[in-house]
Structure formats: C-alpha cells, structure tokens
Amino acid sequence: MNISNGSRILQWLLESQGRIDTTELVSVAAWKERFDKETQGWNVPIDHAVIGGFLADRTAYAFAAGYECALRRLVPSLPERTVVSFCVTEEKGGHPSAIRSSLKKGKAGPWVLNGGKKFVTLATEAELLLIAASTGTASDGKNMLRIAMVSRNTPGVEVSAMAGLPFVPEISHGTVALYDVPVEERDILIGDGYAEYIRPFRTIEDLHIECAVLAHLFRIGCLYGWPRAVKERIAAVIACARALSLDNPSSPALHIALGGLNAQMASLIADLSGWWETVDEKTRAAWERDSALLRVAEKARSKRLETAWSRF
C-alpha cells in the first residue's frame, strides 16, 4: 500500500519513538549535522521541519528547523545544506515603508547594496543572507522592494551579534551592516520583495515553526511517557499544519483556517501543563522560558485574521 506524503511523516514520527538520540546538542552546528543526515531523501520543507523539531533536544533548535525550512518553502532554489537568514527589520521596524537599505544599479557592473539590518535570526551562523532593500519610490509613493541574495563573505558585509533575547538563547540574533556590497543581477530574486517574499513569509514561518515545535513536544512526550491521547492530539495538529503549509500562503481562506489551527495549538499547549510535571527540571524550565516565542507575533496574526475575514 502506498503511503501519502502526509501520512509518511507521521509514520516516521511514530516509528522514531523508540530510537531517540538523547546525546546533548551543544550548538546549532551540532543540531544541523544531525538534521542534515536525517532529512536526506525527504523533499518537502514542512517534513524537514517536523524531522528537525523531533531531533532537537531544546526549543531553540526546533525553532531553527522551522525557520530554515520556511525559507526553503519561500525560495525553493536556496542551497539545501546552507544556513540562511532573512534580513528585513531595520532601525524603525520591518514595515515596507521603514526599509531604508538601498539597492541601486551601478554605473558599470553589478548592483550596489547599502544599509543595515537588525534582529537577524541566526546571524552569526548564516552563510547566506536574503536582504530586503529599496530600489526607489513608485509613482504611488510606495517603497519598491527587492530581495538580494548575498554571501556573508561578500566584501562590504559586516555581521555582529546582538545581546541575547529573553528566550531561545542558543539561537543568535544580530545586525548586518552593508557598505557598497556588489550584487549580481542573477542574485536578485524575481518579483516584488514585499508581496512575494516578506508578506507570505510571515505565514509560511508560522506554519513551519509550529510543526517543528509540535514535533519537539512529541519527542518530549515519547521520552517521558505521556499518554497516547496526548500524542494523538499533537499528531493531528501537525497533520493540519502540514496540509495548510502546502497551500497558497496569501489565501484569505488559508488564514481563516490558520486562525483555527492556532487556537487548537494554544489549547493543546495549555492542556499539556500538567504533563510537564513528569519532565526533568532543566527541560521544563527551558520550555517555560522559550514557549514565549510562540506568542511574539500574536498581534500580527490577529490582524491578518481580521483582514482575511473582511474578504468574506
């Protein structure tokens, strides 16, 4: 009997219950090595996110899995094993009108990129940067954005670490300064930077990180003997998130379904509170600290949901 793609990743989770590697992962690089090995032969980014979350021995690495896999869903041509960071936010935020980094055509040769970015996820680990920059102002006054793909080793690129966030401290966040960075035409992604990349990534990122975190919770449930009913609920929410991740991230109907999915995930996490008493103190304390990450974009999600409902 052929197994559908969605059932295949759930079967992988279930079959992995008895062979969990509990060796401590001391860095993103250590997690990535394990992740790259285990995801060979899997082609869908959301499945990679599930695998990466299950392999993670802490929420931080599950987040890294979701983030990196979301970028592959957004830009399928990204190199498979390379750590990539999406650089959007600047001094005055991440709204399109706040982006002042500039991408201008040089008088001779490549384009030239100048500016700076903040709160870049995985900044110190990234080998490749996707940088949102303005190419000028349109006739309607809107900022015209494009996405440039730049190696962190390109002359003029300077990456610096920022002070750690109050959660997922194992994941670096940093700043990127850009000084006359040369960019070839082939390294500028096709299409509008906001409509085709920044806006849909918010939804894509949510789904991939949720799947990775849920798979991480499934791992914890396996290690600490949580009942089958709990693991069934986790598997069901993963299946729903996976299905949505394959759809159009700009669809209003998808965002309405995603609103329901987010409510189901919040309910599930709340119902797990009693089971955390079975988990060792270090793991439990890390979850209590890092689960705040899931609430960071609540206002943005709420606004997207209201906008989606307004279409109907």
> Average of pLDDT values for 158-178?
90
Is pLDDT larger for residue 94 or for residue 230? 230
Domain with 224 in it: 5-75+196-310
Provide the number of structural domains found in the chain. Answer: 2
Q: What value does the mean pLDDT take over residues 112-140?
A: 94
The predicted structure's pLDDT at residue 298? 87
State CA 264 to chain mean position distance.
20
Between 11-25, 65-79, 162-176, 277-291, the lowest mean confidence (pLDDT) is in 162-176
H-assigned helices in the chain: 5-15, 28-38, 45-55, 59-74, 193, 199-223, 228-245, 252-271, 281-290, 298-310
For residue 263, the tally of other CB atoms under 10 A from its CB is 10
Q: Of 164, 188, 212, which marks where a domain is finished?
A: 188
Q: Which pLDDT does position 6 carry in this prediction?
A: 76
Statement: residue 38 has pLDDT above 90: yes
Q: What angle do CA 188, 193, 197 make, to 5 degrees?
A: 105
Name the token pair of 177. Answer: 């300064």
255 with 180, same domain? no
* Among 87, 40, 39, residue whose Cα is nearest residue 65: 39
- Quote the pLDDT of residue 1: 41
Closest CA to 268 of 236, 297, 299: 236
| Residues 301, 201 within the same domain | yes
Q: 233 and 152, same structural domain?
A: no
In the chain, the percentage of residues whose pLDDT exceeds 90 is 85
Pair (134, 229) in one structural domain: no
Please identify, among 188, 221, 236, the residue that sits at the C-terminal boundary of a domain: 188
Together in a domain, 34 and 119? no
Q: Tell me, yes or no, whether 52 and 110 share the same domain.
A: no
> How does DSSP classify residue 98?
G
Reported as a pLDDT band with limits 50, 70 and 90, residue 308 is very high
- 102-105 and 111-121 strand pairing: antiparallel
| Overall average pLDDT of the 134-159 stretch | 94
Q: How far is CA 172 from the centre of its chain?
A: 14
Integer Rg of the chain from CA: 20
Q: Which of 188, 214, 244 is the last residue of a domain?
A: 188
- Asked whether residue 5 carries a pLDDT value surpassing 80, the answer given is no
Tell me the HSE value of 254 on the side-chain side, using a 13 A CA sphere: 17
14 and 101 both lie in a single domain = no
pLDDT in tens, 48-67: 999 999 999 999 999 999 99
Identity at 125, one-letter amino acid code: E
State how far the alpha carbon of 310 is from the alpha carbons of 76, 206, 255, 263, in Å. Answer: 31, 21, 11, 19
Burial class (CB in 10 A: 0-12, 13-18, 19+), 246: middle
- pLDDT tens profile 53-112: 999 999 999 999 999 999 999 999 999 899 999 999 999 888 889 999 999 987 777 999
The pLDDT value given to residue 175:
96
* Range in 90-94, 157-161, 177-181, 211-215 the model is least confident about: 90-94
Phi, psi of 23, deg, nearest 5: -60, 130
Token duo for residue 8: 């295949």
Q: What number of other Cβ atoms are within 10 A of residue 79's Cβ?
A: 10
Q: Examine the pLDDT at 2 and tell me if it is beyond 70.
A: no
| pLDDT at residue number 138 | 87
Summarize the confidence of residues 224-252 as an average pLDDT.
Answer: 96
> What's the number of CA atoms in the CB half-sphere (13 Å) around residue 13?
32
Q: What angle do CA 288, 289, 293 make, to 5 degrees?
A: 105
Name the least confident of 143-147, 245-249, 290-294, 305-309: 290-294
62 and 205 within one domain = yes
Q: Do residues 149 and 226 share a domain?
A: no
DSSP 93: B
Is the confidence at residue 4, as pLDDT, over 70?
A: no
